[in-house]
Amino acid sequence: MASAQIPQLKDEVRSFWNTEPCGSRYLEGTDDFDAFEAHARSRYTLEPHIRRFAEFSSARGLRVLEIGVGMGADYLEWLKAGANATGVDLSAISIARAKRRCVLAGYYSDLHVADAESLPFAANTFDVVYSYGVMHHSPNPAQCLREAQRVLKPGGEARIMLYHHPSLTGLMLWLRYGVWQGKSLRQAVLDHLESPGTKTYTKAEVRMLMRGFEGVEIQQVFSPGDLLLNAPSARFQSAAYRLVWKLYPRTLVRKFGRRWGLFLLIRGRKA
Classify residue 86: in a domain, yes or no: yes
Specify the pairing of strand 126-132 against strand 152-163: parallel
Identify the pLDDT of residue 1: 59
Q: What is the pLDDT of residue 204?
A: 98
244 found inside a domain: no
Which residues are bridge partners to 86 per DSSP?
65
User: Hey, which residues does 112 pair with through a beta bridge?
Assistant: 88
Q: Are 173 and 192 in contact (CB under 8 A)?
A: yes
Q: Give the chain's length.
A: 271
- The pLDDT of residue 31 is 78
Residue-level pLDDT at 25: 72
Tens digit of each residue's pLDDT, the chain (271 residues): 555 567 889 999 999 888 888 777 777 667 789 999 999 999 999 999 999 999 999 999 999 999 999 999 999 999 999 999 999 999 999 999 999 999 999 999 999 999 999 999 999 999 999 999 999 999 999 999 999 999 999 999 999 999 999 999 999 999 999 998 999 999 999 999 999 999 999 999 999 999 999 999 999 999 999 999 988 887 888 999 999 999 999 999 999 998 999 999 999 999 9
Predicted pLDDT of residue 232: 84
Domains of the chain: total: 1
pLDDT of 235 reads 81
> In this structure, is residue 255 part of a structural domain?
no
Determine contact, residues 197/139, Cβ cutoff 8 Å.
yes
CATH value at residue 124: 3.40.50.150
d(CA 238, CA 110): 41
Assigned domain for 209 exists: yes
In a domain, residue 162? The reply is yes
**Cα separation, 17 vs 47, whole angstroms:** 20
Residue 99 lies in a domain: yes
- Cβ contact 198:137 at 8 Å: yes
Distance CA 19, CA 7 (A): 18
Q: Is 85 exposed, middle or buried (0-12, 13-18, 19+ CB in 10 A)?
A: buried
**Domain with 212 in it:** 3-166+197-222+262-269
Q: Is position 138 within any domain?
A: yes
241 belongs to a structural domain: no
